[in-house]
Every structure is written in structure tokens, then in C-alpha cells.
Amino acid sequence: MSRHGEGNAVGWGVAQVAMLAVAVLTIYPLYFIVITAFKTRHEYLTNQFLPPRDPTLENFRQAFRDGQLLTWVGNSLLITIASVIVAAIVSSLAAYPLARSRFPGRLPFIGLNIVLMVVPPVVLVVPLFIFFVNLGLVNSRLAVVIIYVGLLIPFSIYLLVNFFATIPRSLEEAARMDGAGQLRTLWSVIMPLSAPAVVTVVVVNAVWVWNELLIALVFLQDDNARTLTAGLTFFQGRFIQNEPLVMTGALIATVPMLLLYIVGQRFFIRGLTAGFGK
């Protein structure tokens, strides 16, 4: 990083104070969620800003007892893991020939994926709902996984094609000379080298699926089928007057992604900045 010019201590001080203010502001909601989740409702009413004087776990007990949070956590985990794994496999398989072989339709297909990355899900929801209702897949986690995989593919392919293209061809040619077929080359040569790119795709996609609301809301209307993110909005509707309890739900919804972020921050940032080279 370039060093700041000399003799501008005032500007420097202002920058430090401003950054501190920005940091306090941006961390505040997370801070609010965490401190509120461990407060009694009584304490929340008298103490909104400071950590709890007398931390309680009662909200967690109640959240798991009265709400269906545990079921929702299970649904979210299942749907997230399934969608992310299927999307990673399917996209890797497709991205490899797209980056390597030459065949009719290759560039149009890559172009299609780029365009589809920005199609808003809300325009797809109406026909997809009719489609899956006609198939009898209502309140079906399978239907939701299919939709998520479809929505994740364009970004995943785009990122992986860009990455595969940077792997030197000579490595594959060596494998081919040793008698490996295309699939074998993909599995034994390309995939090990592509681990960072695949992990990036998995992390970014996992966060996206876990946090998704609209599709979860529309396709999983049964209380037992909801994801945690969609369930949280119902949880709040039901317990709106109990701020600490709702914030406990918010905390439970946030912790897995926060852990993922802490572990995979590097990959996450790489994924978000991918394709913005210039």
C-alpha cells in the first residue's frame, strides 16, 4: 500500500476518525443482534446499547422449543449443501470443455451464461411455480434445489471457465500422452489445480443460497419445509413484541455464514471481485 504524503497530519487524523465512525456504524447491527440475543425482554427495554448485565440463554431455549427453528436449520443446511455440491459438479464439468475444446456453440453458450447472471429471480418465479405445481412438487425441497442449482450455474461456469483457461495446456497434454482420457484429465490434473477456484464457487454460492428469501418463501410454504432465512420473517411476525427472541433467531441464522466468512474470507472476496479485472 502506498504511504500517505508527509505533513498532512490533520487530514490523516480526520481520516482515522471517519473510518472509526464508519466501522462502528457498520458493525452495529451485528453487535445489536449479539447483545440483544442474550438479554431478557425486561433488560432490553431498559438497556438497548450496552451488553447484557445479566446474560441469559433463555431465548435460545425458547427459540428451539416454541419455534421450529431446529427444523428450519436442518432444511437450510440440507438445501444449501445439496445445491452447492450439485452446482459445483455440474459447472466444473461444463466449464472444462468450454475453456479447453473448440466446438460449435461454445462462445454463444458462454455469452448466454454471462447474460443469465443478471436475470432477476422474481421474473422466473411465476412460470417456475406453475411448472412445479403441475409436476406435483409443492413444498418440495427437491424443486427448490433444482431452481437454486439453475440459478447458481451461470456465475459458477463463468468463474470456472476463466480459471480453467489460466491452467497451462502442457499439463493436460502430458496427462493425455500418459493415456488419460478427458474425464480422467479433468479429475486428476485440472481439479487438484482448480481447488481454490472451486472452493471460491462453493463459498460464494453457499452464502447466496443460505441467505436467499424469495424462492424459499414461494416454494416452501409449509411450516415444516421452510428455510431458516424465510422462517425468520415468520418468526418475527409471530414474536414481534419479543425483540430478544427474534434477534436470537437472527443470530442463529447468521452464525454459520459468519463462520464460513471467517474461514473462507479470501475465497469469498476473490469470488466477488472475479471478472472485474479492469
Partner 1 sequence: MASETHGAELAVPRRRKRIGGRWRPILTAYLLIFPAFAFIAVVFIYSLIRLGYISVHSGNNGDEGPANLTAYRFIVDDPIFRQAVRHNLLLLLSVPFVTVVALGISFVLQEGIRGWKTYRTIVFVPYMLAIPVLGTTFVYVLSLNGAVNTFLGKLGLDALQQDWLGDPNWVLTSIAAIIVYHELGFGVVLFTARLLSLPEEVDQAARIDGCTWWQLRRRVTLPQMRGVITAFVTLELITMLSWVFAYVYSTTRGGPNFASYVLEFYIFDNAFTFRSPTFAAAAAILLLLATTALITIQVRRTNVEVNVE
Residue list 192-221, contact with partner 1 (CB under 8 A)? 193, 196-197, 207, 210-211, 213-214, 217-218
Q: How far is the CB of 271 from partner 1 (least distance, A)?
A: 9
**17 lies in the binding site for partner 1 (CB under 8 A):** no
Q: How far is the CB of 206 from partner 1 (least distance, A)?
A: 12
Is the CB of residue 274 less than 8 Å from the CB of residue 159?
Answer: yes
Residue number, 94 or 202, with CB nearest to partner 1: 94
Q: How far is the CB of 224 from partner 1 (least distance, A)?
A: 19
Q: How far is the CB of 54 from partner 1 (least distance, A)?
A: 20
Positions 22 through 51 that interact with partner 1 (CB under 8 A): 22-23, 26-30, 32-33, 36, 48-49
Residue number, 53 or 123, with CB nearest to partner 1: 123
Written as nine digits, the cell of 211 is 441467505
Written as nine digits, the cell of 188 is 486428476
Residue 70 and residue 72: Cα distance in Å, rounded?
5
Residue 243 and residue 38: Cα distance in Å, rounded?
11
Is the CB of residue 272 less than 8 Å from the CB of residue 117?
Answer: no
Residue 178 and residue 55: Cα distance in Å, rounded?
64
3-state DSSP call for residue 105?
A: coil
Binding mask 152-181 for partner 1 (x = CB under 8 A): -xx--xx--xxx-xxxx-xx-xx-xx----
**277 lies in the binding site for partner 1 (CB under 8 A):** yes
**55 lies in the binding site for partner 1 (CB under 8 A):** no
Written as nine digits, the cell of 28 is 452495529
**229 lies in the binding site for partner 1 (CB under 8 A):** yes
**254 lies in the binding site for partner 1 (CB under 8 A):** yes
Q: How many residues bind partner 1 (CB under 8 A)?
A: 117
Q: How far is the CB of 65 from partner 1 (least distance, A)?
A: 20
DSSP alpha helix (H) spans, the chain = 9-37, 41-46, 58-66, 69-100, 106-116, 121-134, 141-164, 169-177, 182-185, 191-211, 214-219, 228-238, 243-273
Residue 80, Cβ density class (10 Å: 0-12 exposed, 13-18 middle, ≥19 buried):
buried
How many CB atoms are closer than 10 A to CB 56? 14
Positions 64 through 123 that interact with partner 1 (CB under 8 A): 90-91, 93-94, 96-99, 101, 103-104, 106-107, 109-110, 112-116, 118-120, 122-123
**9 lies in the binding site for partner 1 (CB under 8 A):** no
Q: How far is the CB of 266 from partner 1 (least distance, A)?
A: 11
Written as nine digits, the cell of 64 is 428451539
Stretch that binds partner 1, among 57-65, 67-75, 129-137 (CB under 8 A): 129-137
Q: How far is the CB of 154 from partner 1 (least distance, A)?
A: 7
Residue number, 65 or 278, with CB nearest to partner 1: 278
> Among 206, 262, 192, 184, which residue's Cα sits nearest to residue 85?
206
